[in-house]
Amino acid sequence: MSSNVNIKLNKNIILAVTGGIAAYKSAVLVRRLKDYGFNVRVVMTKGAQAFITPLTFQALSSNPVHTTLLDPEAEAGMGHIELARWADLILVAPASCDVIAKFAQGLADDLLTTLYLATKAPVWIAPAMNQQMWAAKATQRNLKTLTEDGMHIIIPDAGEQACGDIGRGRMPEPEALAEQVFEYFKTQERAYTQQFGLLAGKKVTITAGPTREAIDPVRYISNHSTGKMGFALASVCYAAGADVTLIAGPVTLNTPYGVTRKNIVSAQQMLDESMYMLNQGCDIFIATAAVADYRVAEIAPHKIKKTGDTLDIALIKNPDIVATIAQQEKRPFMVGFAAETQNIEQYANGKLISKKLDMIACNDVSRTDIGFGADENAMTVFFAKKYDFDQRQLEKASKLKIGEQLVEAIVDALNTKS
C-alpha cells in the first residue's frame, strides 16, 4: 500500500461553506486538507454562519475567514478578485440548493457567487440537502447546467439524514473529500512530470534495505540497513517523472507514493527480481541495498541446538547483483552505492571499475549521524572515466535532498554523449 503521508502539495484551496447542517463536517475537512499540506482559506455564506462560527474556521485554517463582499476592511486584506486568483481550487462543501441555483443562474449577490464568476480555478461542489430537494427537478436541472459549464459535482452519499429521511443527500465524509482533492492534484502533477520531469519517460529500478540469509528456521545473517536511502530515492525519481520499481528487503517503511514495490528476503531473490525488471525494460538501475555478501552454504532444516562452545557455519559467496546487471548486453545506466569506513575514494573507485558502474555514491558508514538508519546522509559521487566528470561532494542533508542531487548527477551523466 502506498503512503501519502510524506507528500505535501503546495496548493491553495478555498473551502466555501454554505448553509446546511453538514457545515459541521467542514471543520474537519479543513483539518484533513491541511494534513495534505494544502493552504486553506475559508469563505462562508450568511447561511453557513447560522450553523457554525467563522472563529472555528479561522482557528483551524490559521487564516482570516472571508464572509462579505462589501466590507471595505475585508476587501483591503484580500479582495474578492485577489481571492479568486489565489485559489488553485474552490471546493464548496456543503453546497446548498440555494447556492447551486445561484451558480446556475450566474447571480453574483454575495462573496461566494461573485468568486465563482471571478475565478479561473476549477470549482467543485459537494451538495448536501434533504433527499427530496436533491431529487427535485429544479435541482437536477441546475446541476446539469453546472456540469455543462465545467463544474465538478461530487455526488452526495445515500443514507440516514439529519431530518430523519433516508435517501441521497449526505455530504461525503471529510476524509474522502480531502483525498479526492489530493488525488486530483497528484494526477495533474504526475501528468506534468511524466512529460517535463527530469526523468520523464525513464524506467528506474532501485534496490533497497538489507537482505536476510537464513541460517536455520529461526536465525539469519543481515545488516543495519533500514531502506531509508533507497525509499527516499524512489520517491524523488517518481517525482521527477520516472516509472519506479523498488525491490525492497525486509524493512518497515511505507511504500512511497506512486512507486511499485517488490518485497524480497534473500540476495538471490533480489537478483531474480532485478533480472526480471531488466527484462521488462529498465533505463536506470540504482543499487542502494546492503546485500549480504555471503550466505549459509546449507540452511539447517531445524533449529540448530546449543551443543558446543563454538559453532562453525560454512558461508558461500552471494551473486553480486549490481555487477551481474552491469554485465548484461542491454545494460541500463548503472548506479552503485558504497558503504565504506575508510579509504573512501580508493575503495569506491575500485568498486566503480570492478562492477562496471557508470556512477557510484559513497557514504561513510562509520558515522552514526549519516548512513545506516539515519534520516540524513552525506555522499561523495564518482563517475566512470568516460564521463570525464569531477567527483561531487554532497554535503550532509536529508536523504530526500541527497536523492535529488543524485538524480541531478544521473541526468547530467545521461545527457553527456559518452
Q: What is the DSSP string of 46-97?
A: HHHHTTS-HHHHHHHHTSPPB--SS-HHHHHHH-HHHHHHH-SEEEEEEEPH
Q: How far apart are CA 99 and CA 133, in angstroms?
A: 13
Q: How far apart are CA 105 and CA 141, in angstroms?
A: 11
Give the shortest CB-363-to-ligand PMT separation in angstroms: 5
Is 390 flagged in the annotation as binding? no
Give the shortest CB-90-to-ligand PMT separation in angstroms: 41
Say if residues 210 and 249 touch (Cβ distance below 8 Å).
Answer: yes
Q: How far apart are CA 343 and CA 370, in angstroms?
A: 17
CB-nearer residue toward ligand PMT: 25 or 351: 351
Restricting to residues 197-216, name those near ligand PMT by CB under 6 A: 207, 209
Is 337 flagged in the annotation as binding? yes
Q: Which of 163, 237, 282, 362 is catalytic?
A: 163
Give the shortest CB-256-to-ligand PMT separation in angstroms: 13
Helix (H, G, I), strand (E, B) or coil at 308: coil
Is 322 flagged in the annotation as binding? yes
Give the shortest CB-279-to-ligand PMT separation in angstroms: 17
Say if residues 9 and 185 touch (Cβ distance below 8 Å).
Answer: yes
Stretch near ligand PMT under the rule CB under 6 A, chosen from 187-195, 255-263, 307-315, 335-343: 335-343
- Sign of the CA dihedral running 49, 55, 60, 63: positive
CB-nearer residue toward ligand PMT: 27 or 291: 291
Active site includes 163? yes
Restricting to residues 351-380, name those near ligand PMT by CB under 6 A: 351, 363, 365, 371-373
Q: How far is CA 296 from CA 64, 315, 343, 367, 399, in A?
A: 65, 4, 29, 29, 32
Judged by CB under 6 A, the number of residues near ligand PMT is 28
Restricting to residues 275-334, name those near ligand PMT by CB under 6 A: 287-291, 293, 318, 320-322
Return residues touching ligand PMT (CB under 6 A). 207, 209, 225-229, 267, 287-291, 293, 318, 320-322, 336-339, 351, 363, 365, 371-373
Specify binding-site residues for CTP: 293, 303, 319-322, 337, 351, 355
